[in-house]
Amino acid sequence: MRVILIGPPGAGKGTQATWLKERLGVPHLSTGDMLRAAVQQGTELGRQADGYMRRGELVPDDLVIRMAVERIGQADCGNGFLLDGFPRTRAQAEALDVALQAAGTAIDVVLLIEVPDELIIDRITGRVQDPETGTIYHLRFNPPPPEVAPRVVQRKDDTEQACRARLDKYHSETAPIVPFYRDKGLLRTVDGVGSPDEVSRRLLAALG
């Protein structure tokens, strides 16, 4: 199954993708994770992406499209994938369509997780991650266990200022792709407010 997860920063895309990928039996492809890995490894792509990410801006389409299309073409995506954070612009959505058409496939469903802006800043500024397992926590809503707490890290773009910039970009660049998928009959909208388990149940129901 080929699934896209869309939602504002902090909507819970990464949190939900952790179990959804197991359930669907497909790889979780997060362009944010790929770009952070490139930054950490000091590759040319990472060097070019770093500043945009720190400021909460989108990395230019040509860089991200090349990276994502290449990843989707890899062998482990033969039975599908769970895309998280891509596409994020109209140009990316169109490029994805072209790449999938060339491969004789198409997206099956687009899941939009909706969370109001006023909840986002709290979620983002309290987020921490275990660098060893990748598990995402929240200092208040889902605190890391005592043995994990000393090693958790915070993302560089999880400041309030960068978060507000990311939200602006979401509304100006990413939200406009929602009608693109609605017109194709692929969109299913899920309320992202509530506990992660409640949101999981809604996603399952939306997937049928």
Active site residues: 13, 88, 127, 155, 166
Q: What is the DSSP string of 134-176?
A: --EEETTTBPPPTTTGGG-B--TT-SHHHHHHHHHHIIIIITT
Kindly indicate which of the ranges 11-19, 38-46, 102-110, 176-184 contains the residues binding ligand AP5, using the contact rule CB under 6 A. Answer: 11-19
Annotate each residue in 92-111 with x if it binds ligand AP5 (CB under 6 A) or - if it does not, as one string.
Answer: x-------------------
Annotate each residue in 160-189 with x if it binds ligand AP5 (CB under 6 A) or - if it does not, as one string.
Answer: ------x-----------------------
Site size toward ligand AP5, by CB under 6 A: 38
Q: How far is CA 120 from CA 115, 141, 160, 162, 178, in A?
A: 7, 13, 10, 12, 19
Candidate residues 6, 20, 26, 64; the one interacting with ligand AP5 per rule CB under 6 A: 64
Kindly indicate which of the ranges 7-15, 40-48, 72-80, 176-184 contains the residues binding ligand AP5, using the contact rule CB under 6 A. Answer: 7-15
Q: At what angle do helices 90-102 and 61-72 cross, to 10 degrees?
A: 30
Q: How far is CA 34 from CA 38, 42, 117, 194, in A?
A: 6, 12, 25, 28
Candidate residues 138, 187, 190, 202; the one interacting with ligand AP5 per rule CB under 6 A: 138
Position 28 contacts ligand AP5 (CB under 6 A): no
Candidate residues 72, 80, 86, 144; the one interacting with ligand AP5 per rule CB under 6 A: 86
User: Phi, psi at residue 116, to the nearest 5°?
Assistant: -65, 150
Pairing assessment for the beta strands 136-138 and 127-129 based on DSSP bridges: antiparallel
Six-digit token string for 140: 């208040």
The conformation of residue 186, written as its DSSP 8-state character, comes to -
Six-digit token string for 110: 């687009």
Interface with ligand AP5 (CB under 6 A): 7, 9-15, 30-32, 35, 52-53, 56-59, 64, 85-86, 88, 92, 123-124, 126-127, 136-138, 141-142, 157, 166, 194-196, 199
